[in-house]
Structure 1
Amino acid sequence: MLDKIKHTGKNSIIYIKKRIRKKALENIKEKLDFAQKKETDFTKDEMRSMIEKEERKIIKDYKTKGALTTVLAMFGIVNI
């Protein structure tokens, strides 16, 4: 039973990381479209760097939203 819980936790982490990566790639593509650039205009290292920065930004946003929701819940306010 405990092994199944650990396995489920690992799958959840993998799923969340994939979602964050996918969202980061979408954001990068939008920014490149806005700047009228192509992915081929950048080296692999530059693209990786941009994706990592975007992932950090997304994670930070999730943390901020989670903290805000927690504080509001303490006061009985529902955050939609």
Structure 2
Amino acid sequence: MLDKIKEKANTTLQKSKEITAASVEKSKEITNASIEKSKEMTDASIKYGKKFIRKKAIDSIREKLEFAQKKESDFTNEQMREMIQKEEKKIIKSFGINGAVTTILALFGITNF
């Protein structure tokens, strides 16, 4: 009788261990899939951000050229790339300043429109 109880307990314990191991394995798979998806979304977000900044820089350069009454063809590709890079840096810097100002205003309960 005692042997039967021990045998059933061992069987139940073994099944419990198998189920736990399968559950842990499934959790690992789900976690890894979630991490991969998160990385993909981060990469896509960075790509979108860079594209947005590049577009803003190009638009700004075009406005400046129009104001100076010059054409894009007046500059070499290398000169245009340099101007766009400088403008991108200015835009990124302005995002940092605007973010800081918005944060400070939010601390005082003021919204920045």
Shorter-chain TM-score bucket reads over 0.9
2:95 to 53, 58, 62: 62
Matched, 1:72 2:105: yes
Q: 1:40 aligns with which of 50, 70, 73?
A: 73
* 1:74 Cα offset (Å): 1.6
Matches for 1:13-24 after TM superposition, within 5 Å: 13-24=46-57
- Structure number with larger C-alpha Rg: 2
Match of 2:5 in 1: none
Unaligned runs of 5+ in 2: 1-33
Higher relative contact order (CA 8 A, sep 6+): 1
Regions of 4+ moved over 4 Å = none
| Cα shift readout 1:27-60 (whole Å, capped 9, x = no counterpart) | 1011111111111111111111100000001011
Counterparts of 1:43 and 1:15, CA distance in 2: 27
Counterpart for residue 5 of structure 1: 38
Alpha-carbon distance, 1:9 to partner: 0.7
Unaligned 5+ runs, structure 1: none
Q: State the percentage of identical aligned residues.
A: 57
Aligned mates of 1:61, 1:51 — CA distance in 2: 15
Paired with 1:22 and 1:32, the residues of 2 have a C-alpha distance of: 15
AA aligned opposite 1:28: I
Partner of 2:37, secondary structure, is helix
Q: Which has the higher helix share?
A: 2
Structure 1 residue aligned with 2:4? none
When the two structures are superposed, what TM-score results if normalisation uses the length of structure 2? 0.68
